A and B are shown apart, each in its own frame.
Chain A
Amino acid sequence: MTAPALGAILSHWRRAPGQLAALVLGLALATALWSAVQAINSEARANYARAAGMLGGSQLASLTAPTGPISTETFVRLRRAGWLVSPVLEGDLRVDGRRITVTGVDFLTLPSGGAGLQTGSGEGDPAPLLRGAVALAAPGTAEAVRGAGITGLPRLVPSQTVAPGTLLMDIGAAHELLGRPGEITRLTVLADQPVRRAPLEELAPNLRRVAPGAGMDPVQLTRSFHLNLAAFGLLSFAVGLFIVYGTIGLAFEQRRPLFRTLRALGLPLRSLLTLVLAELLALALLAGGIGLVLGYLVAAALLPDVAATLRGLYGAEVSGQLTFRPGWAAAGMGMAVGGTLVAAAQALWRTARLPVLAAAHPRAWALGTVRRLWSQGAAGGALLATAAALSVAGSGLITGFVLLGALLLGAALLLPPVLSLLVAVGRRAARGPVGQWFWADAQQQIPGLSMALMALLLALAANVGVGTMVASFRVTFLGWLDQRLAAELYVTVQDAAQADRLRRFLDGRARAVLPIWEVEGRIAGRPVAVNGMADDRTFRENWPLLDAAPGAWDRLADGTGILINEQLHYRSGLGVGDRVAPFDGWRPEIVGIYSDYGNPRGEAIAGNAKLTALFPAVEKTRFALRVPQRDTDGLRRALTEATGVPAAAVTDRAAVKAASVRVFDRTFAVTGALNILTLGVAALAILIAHATLAALRLPQLAPVWALGLTRRRLARLEVARTVALAAFTAVLALPVGLLLAWALLAVVNVQAFGWRLPMQVFPLDWLRLLGLAFMAAALAAAGPARRLARMTPARFLEVFANER
């Protein structure tokens, strides 16, 4: 019995290959977008883990010197006193304009185990590594660096366990490569220390202990970014699930007579359900498999941009190469199967309760009752109220995302009742029988199309919201860059002698030579870069302050005040008027807060005079030059010739700005791509809804045709109706999108990035989006409409002939 029953059930798909394709495609797309995001996230996380695990970084405390490198003598003194510390030297190489981190370690004192590293198998001979003849690098990094022809570079061996963008080598080799003999950047403090040691303060009073995970932990910094991506992936999945829900519902509805017949022939209900479930699972696995392949391709295409984003925003290194990881693949498959079951739950339930003896009326499956419409509306309203309450009372990143979810879902649930009201209004305004019928029919179509329209609403709202956020960010960022990059030229010199030559050369040629330098201090228990700022009208006039005490610039200049950036302000809760102690013996008052977009770190600005008095030995190697605007190019050439500063070390304002904008645009390329993809899925949802509804529509259209409307006219009306519904949806999506943008800018952004942005609106973008939505709806409706226009009259007549 089972085999023939299965054959009968499956025969449906042979007769409706379009439905099968829609089901598989919908599920595959949903799985693809979801697993693409998961793949990207897991790749990034694996990279962070590598970076952190490489040196036991985030789990172990370390010692740093605020004023400069730690000497080899200090290291040996600590070891000889029983302190188990391991030296790390970090420096940068420039390879084709990209920063490559050189990490020199002492393999002999490195904390072993516990670092959570995958050590791989096989034993390489460690001697060349220990002797500095070999360095390790991630495969992509090794190739890039090898090609750059750097002299004195050890032989590079690709290793999967080294973070991308990093060369890991013996500290002796790193000393030579970076030209910093004997220097140590920080000392890692091993977890297990011997009994009886002298206190650190006696042995090395100038060292500071940095708690594990303090500072630049990429996992913490990028958490919000990945949460963002995950939310986007889930949204895409939800949109795709609408398609699956629609097609499964239809397929079950059309097979009601078949199920009834099978039951009447004696197939037990349990067997029927098992067979149907097996069919669904097989479809889910097939579609999930296709989705995984697609997802991998999408992720591989997007990953380089994501890597650029993470580097630009957070300084976190992620390789642009995607690795297949069973974790996200399993998660994607699970989502596909789970999603299918969720989408099919209602249909399965109905099949289970199918009365065997009742006439098999293939009702229009999706025709909901008015009451259901209103209860759905009530749920939507409740969700929106929750979102409103959260926006007032809530705080924290997770709350922000719950707010977003409640807002979007509430709006989606509210859509059908609101559309219904709008259509009722249209109906009242309509004249003539065709107009009346048009609206009445639209009203009847809403439940059937509601899933697709809800998907469209979500996609459009996400588009408006994210688009508004990105554009607001861009405008603010550009304005801020213009203010911040006030100097005409920026120069980096190599040493004090070159700095002297530069000053002599610029005497009389430049209005001001302003050093740019920083010293590491501590504010609110965290390491903070304190920048020295000269007292110059360049800064007084241009530096944007979000909040300032009276006479802030004077107080900064006389050494009684300090400025902190917005990130530090949000993170530490410190504000204007609070006192801080960034260094021993100096307790300035915070006199202003400045915006510092794109900087993940907390920073502060101190007066140049005060900072120089505190740290007279720190060399200043970067300068901002105020020179006459007319001839920056000529001056630049002359400067290069006269001082020996390489041309590459002199940058003008335009170049810095262009580079910043490039980083910015790449940052949000991913968001744009996901936006378009989501919109595409929504359009597909409409297409599929139409295609699947077409057969059900026939009994409703046949009488109208019989009354004299031509098939062509009917088809045109079909398209017009869909476009009208899409237009209503798009108009409703606009306020939802703006609310979303507000939530992103004022709630999520502050939590995630540490800065708040003024919201700006871009009506032209909305128009473009509306146009896109119309076009998508029209295209989606066009196919079924054309079939309708070409349908033989005999098919229409059949409606009257068949007793249904």
Chain B
Amino acid sequence: MNAERWILRAVRRALTVCALVAGLAAGAAAQGFAGLGTEAEGFALPDPDRTLEFPRDHGAHPAFRIEWWYLTANLEGADGRQYGVQWTLFRSALAPGAKEGWTSPQVWIGHVGLTTPDAHFHGERMARGGIGQAGVALDPFRAWIDEWEMTAEGQGAPPEADALDRLRLSATTPRIGYDLTLRAEGPLVFHGRDGYSVKSEDGQASHYYSQPFYRAEGTLALPGGDVGVTGRAWLDREWSSQPLSESQSGWDWISLHLEDGAKLMAFRLRDRDGPPFLSGTWIAPDGTATPMHGPDIAMTPRGTARVAGRTVPVAWRVEAPARDLDVTLRARNPDAWMDLNFAYWEGPVAVSGTHTGAGYLEMTGY
């Protein structure tokens, strides 16, 4: 999971839309405000020498401009029906630093998705920090916006367990809801160099780690009634302050749970002026992570679908020669379009080929 520029644009776009609704018309633009860009002054930058510490780094980093807690789950009903669930909390700072009260510069945005084989539901929330409507707290760990929550369940956990090992996840929208418990069966995984993940040839970077080993269990409240589900989930944590280069037009990101217990994360940043920037992490069943770059990994579109008036590649070929991996990803439901203030595609995929399994695909900029 990557692309600060994308999320910055998403946040900015979302905020602009709501401001426009409130009447900030061309007049405001004509006045030439100081934009988000200039206010970036004073934000902290990712540090390659920083050692991540927990539970501290599970919490918010208000000195950085952008941050997220991003969970995706591949789930299955008792009848074998496949489902996908997304739960995301973004933090976007208008200025660095935390502050209590209504004048806090921290803006929180929640995204929720639920994909069934024949339907896709989504929801969005926005809130400001400083008043308790949204935020992330430690001891016990709790991330929330409105009634959407990701909270640690402490009872019965061994003392050495990570704060994110046992989570309860819930969200509701006007049409659906879900309530899941997550149990980690492996360690935290650090991308790049000990969690310092480089994003471009120019050296832009973020702090990035994951918990990809969740077993998930719970209930989906669908329009047709409640459904019990089990499956696997993946949590991404990332924060940064730097936007990516202007020529990057979008990105494709995957997280795969393979049948043999290995995991794969990869992303592909599309560049208008050149070849895409590829990067990824091979995660062995015991949690050992190996970074992958350029020739180690290939992602190629294999089929498209018309979604919301756009052509979106919903089938992919993914190759990792060093791992003898050559698989095809197919969207469980090609209509997994997140039609929010900033629209993107995010949904569950089936994995077939040299390896089988399930995973999540995210695509922006189509």
Cα-based distance from A110 to B33 in the complex (angstroms): 22
**Are A79 and B23 within 8 A (Cβ)?**
no
- CB neighbours (8 Å) of A158 from chain B are 27
From B26, B35, B103, A172 is in contact (CB under 8 Å) with: B103
Please tell me if A195 contacts chain B, counting CB pairs below 8 Å. Answer: yes
Given A108-B18, A123-B16, A130-B94, verify A175-B102 contact (CB < 8 Å).
Answer: yes
**Are A125 and B174 within 8 A (Cβ)?**
no
- CB neighbours (8 Å) of A109 from chain B are 126-127
1/0 per residue, CB under 8 A from A, across B275-290: the answer is: 0000000000000000
Cα-based distance from A260 to B66 in the complex (angstroms): 87
Please tell me if A528 contacts chain B, counting CB pairs below 8 Å. Answer: no
Give the contacts of B19-44 with A (CB-CB under 8 A).
Answer: 19-31, 33-36, 39
Cα-based distance from A54 to B146 in the complex (angstroms): 24
From B25, B102, B176, A160 is in contact (CB under 8 Å) with: B25
Q: How far is the CB of B166 from chain A (nearest CB, A)?
A: 22
Please tell me if A76 contacts chain B, counting CB pairs below 8 Å. Answer: yes
From B22, B30, B176, A122 is in contact (CB under 8 Å) with: B30
1/0 per residue, CB under 8 A from A, across B2-26: the answer is: 0000000000100111111111111
- CB neighbours (8 Å) of B144 from chain A are 80
Cα-based distance from A25 to B328 in the complex (angstroms): 81
Cα-based distance from A161 to B25 in the complex (angstroms): 8
- The stretch among A112-120, A619-627, A764-772 that forms the contact with chain B is A112-120
Q: How far is the CB of B109 from chain A (nearest CB, A)?
A: 8
Please tell me if B200 contacts chain A, counting CB pairs below 8 Å. Answer: no
Q: How far is the CB of B170 from chain A (nearest CB, A)?
A: 10
Please tell me if B95 contacts chain A, counting CB pairs below 8 Å. Answer: yes
Please tell me if B50 contacts chain A, counting CB pairs below 8 Å. Answer: no
Cα-based distance from A489 to B24 in the complex (angstroms): 44
Give the contacts of A98-149 with B (CB-CB under 8 A).
Answer: 105-113, 115, 117-132, 134, 136
Please tell me if A300 contacts chain B, counting CB pairs below 8 Å. Answer: no
- CB neighbours (8 Å) of B20 from chain A are 119-120, 123-124
- CB neighbours (8 Å) of A106 from chain B are 102, 128
With a 10 A CB-CB cut-off, give which of A108, A175, A181 has the most chain B CB atoms: A108
- CB neighbours (8 Å) of A84 from chain B are 146
Cα-based distance from A126 to B20 in the complex (angstroms): 8
**Are A80 and B133 within 8 A (Cβ)?**
yes
Cα-based distance from A115 to B20 in the complex (angstroms): 12
Please tell me if B359 contacts chain A, counting CB pairs below 8 Å. Answer: no
Cα-based distance from A363 to B176 in the complex (angstroms): 82
Cα-based distance from A170 to B132 in the complex (angstroms): 17
Given A72-B102, A108-B18, verify A161-B34 contact (CB < 8 Å).
Answer: no
**Are A127 and B147 within 8 A (Cβ)?**
no
Please tell me if B352 contacts chain A, counting CB pairs below 8 Å. Answer: no
Residue of B nearest to A73 (CB): B132
From B16, B123, B131, B146, A126 is in contact (CB under 8 Å) with: B16
- CB neighbours (8 Å) of A124 from chain B are 16, 19-20, 24-31, 33
Cα-based distance from A79 to B172 in the complex (angstroms): 12
**Are A82 and B29 within 8 A (Cβ)?**
no
- CB neighbours (8 Å) of A81 from chain B are 147
**Are A172 and B101 within 8 A (Cβ)?**
yes
Please tell me if A196 contacts chain B, counting CB pairs below 8 Å. Answer: yes
Give the contacts of A727-759 with B (CB-CB under 8 A).
Answer: none
Please tell me if A194 contacts chain B, counting CB pairs below 8 Å. Answer: yes
- CB neighbours (8 Å) of A105 from chain B are 22
From B25, B34, B126, B147, A108 is in contact (CB under 8 Å) with: B126
- Measured as residues with beta carbon below 8 angstroms from the partner, the interface class of chain A is 35 or more
From A129, A172, A193, B174 is in contact (CB under 8 Å) with: A193
From A118, A121, A131, A168, B94 is in contact (CB under 8 Å) with: A131
**Are A72 and B23 within 8 A (Cβ)?**
no
Cα-based distance from A82 to B170 in the complex (angstroms): 11
Give the contacts of A141-180 with B (CB-CB under 8 A).
Answer: 157-162, 168, 170-173, 175-176
1/0 per residue, CB under 8 A from B, across A67-107: the answer is: 00000110110011110100000000000000000000111
Q: How far is the CB of B33 from chain A (nearest CB, A)?
A: 4
Residue of A nearest to B341 (CB): A112
Please tell me if B177 contacts chain A, counting CB pairs below 8 Å. Answer: yes
**Are B174 and A192 within 8 A (Cβ)?**
yes
Cα-based distance from A110 to B27 in the complex (angstroms): 20
**Are A136 and B21 within 8 A (Cβ)?**
no
- CB neighbours (8 Å) of B107 from chain A are 108, 130
Please tell me if B173 contacts chain A, counting CB pairs below 8 Å. Answer: yes
Cα-based distance from A539 to B170 in the complex (angstroms): 60
Q: How far is the CB of A419 from chain B (nearest CB, A)?
A: 58
Please tell me if B105 contacts chain A, counting CB pairs below 8 Å. Answer: yes
- Measured as residues with beta carbon below 8 angstroms from the partner, the interface class of chain B is 35 or more
Please tell me if A394 contacts chain B, counting CB pairs below 8 Å. Answer: no
Please tell me if A182 contacts chain B, counting CB pairs below 8 Å. Answer: yes
Q: How far is the CB of A18 from chain B (nearest CB, A)?
A: 51
Cα-based distance from A112 to B25 in the complex (angstroms): 15
Cα-based distance from A170 to B19 in the complex (angstroms): 10
Given A82-B147, A132-B103, A182-B102, verify A125-B33 contact (CB < 8 Å).
Answer: yes
Cα-based distance from A126 to B147 in the complex (angstroms): 26
Residue of A nearest to B145 (CB): A79
Cα-based distance from A130 to B18 in the complex (angstroms): 10
Cα-based distance from A157 to B23 in the complex (angstroms): 11
Q: How far is the CB of B93 from chain A (nearest CB, A)?
A: 10
Please tell me if B175 contacts chain A, counting CB pairs below 8 Å. Answer: yes
- CB neighbours (8 Å) of A115 from chain B are 21
Residue of A nearest to B39 (CB): A127
From A111, A134, A160, A194, B173 is in contact (CB under 8 Å) with: A194
With a 10 A CB-CB cut-off, give which of A107, A115, A197 has the most chain B CB atoms: A107
**Are A134 and B146 within 8 A (Cβ)?**
no
**Are B103 and A194 within 8 A (Cβ)?**
no
**Are A122 and B147 within 8 A (Cβ)?**
no
Cα-based distance from A173 to B128 in the complex (angstroms): 14
1/0 per residue, CB under 8 A from B, across A197-221: the answer is: 1000000000000000000000000
**Are B31 and A112 within 8 A (Cβ)?**
no
Given A106-B128, A107-B18, A131-B105, verify A123-B29 contact (CB < 8 Å).
Answer: yes
**Are B127 and A127 within 8 A (Cβ)?**
no
Given A79-B133, A81-B147, verify A195-B176 contact (CB < 8 Å).
Answer: yes
Cα-based distance from A161 to B26 in the complex (angstroms): 11
Please tell me if B298 contacts chain A, counting CB pairs below 8 Å. Answer: no
Cα-based distance from A76 to B131 in the complex (angstroms): 7
Cα-based distance from A132 to B128 in the complex (angstroms): 13
Residue of B nearest to A79 (CB): B146
Given A79-B133, A130-B15, verify A196-B21 contact (CB < 8 Å).
Answer: no
From A120, A132, A170, A194, B25 is in contact (CB under 8 Å) with: A120
**Are A161 and B18 within 8 A (Cβ)?**
no
Cα-based distance from A134 to B221 in the complex (angstroms): 42
Q: How far is the CB of B26 from chain A (nearest CB, A)?
A: 4
- CB neighbours (8 Å) of A194 from chain B are 123, 147, 172-174, 177
- CB neighbours (8 Å) of B15 from chain A are 107-108, 126-127, 130
Q: How far is the CB of B323 from chain A (nearest CB, A)?
A: 43
Residue of B nearest to A174 (CB): B102
**Are A122 and B18 within 8 A (Cβ)?**
no
**Are B102 and A110 within 8 A (Cβ)?**
no
**Are B132 and A76 within 8 A (Cβ)?**
yes
Given A72-B131, A182-B102, verify A127-B35 contact (CB < 8 Å).
Answer: yes
Q: Offer 29 A-B interface pairs, CB within 8 angstroms, sorted by A.
A: A54-B22, A72-B102, A75-B133, A76-B133, A84-B146, A106-B102, A108-B18, A108-B126, A109-B126, A110-B18, A119-B20, A119-B23, A120-B26, A121-B26, A122-B25, A122-B29, A124-B16, A125-B36, A126-B12, A127-B33, A130-B15, A134-B33, A136-B23, A136-B24, A162-B23, A173-B103, A175-B102, A194-B174, A195-B176
CB-CB nearest 10 A-B residue pairs: A120-B25, A124-B28, A172-B102, A126-B19, A161-B23, A122-B26, A82-B147, A124-B29, A194-B172, A108-B126
With A75-B133, A131-B105 known, 12 other A-B pairs at CB within 8 A are A80-B132, A109-B126, A118-B25, A120-B27, A123-B16, A125-B34, A125-B35, A127-B36, A162-B23, A171-B102, A182-B101, A196-B221
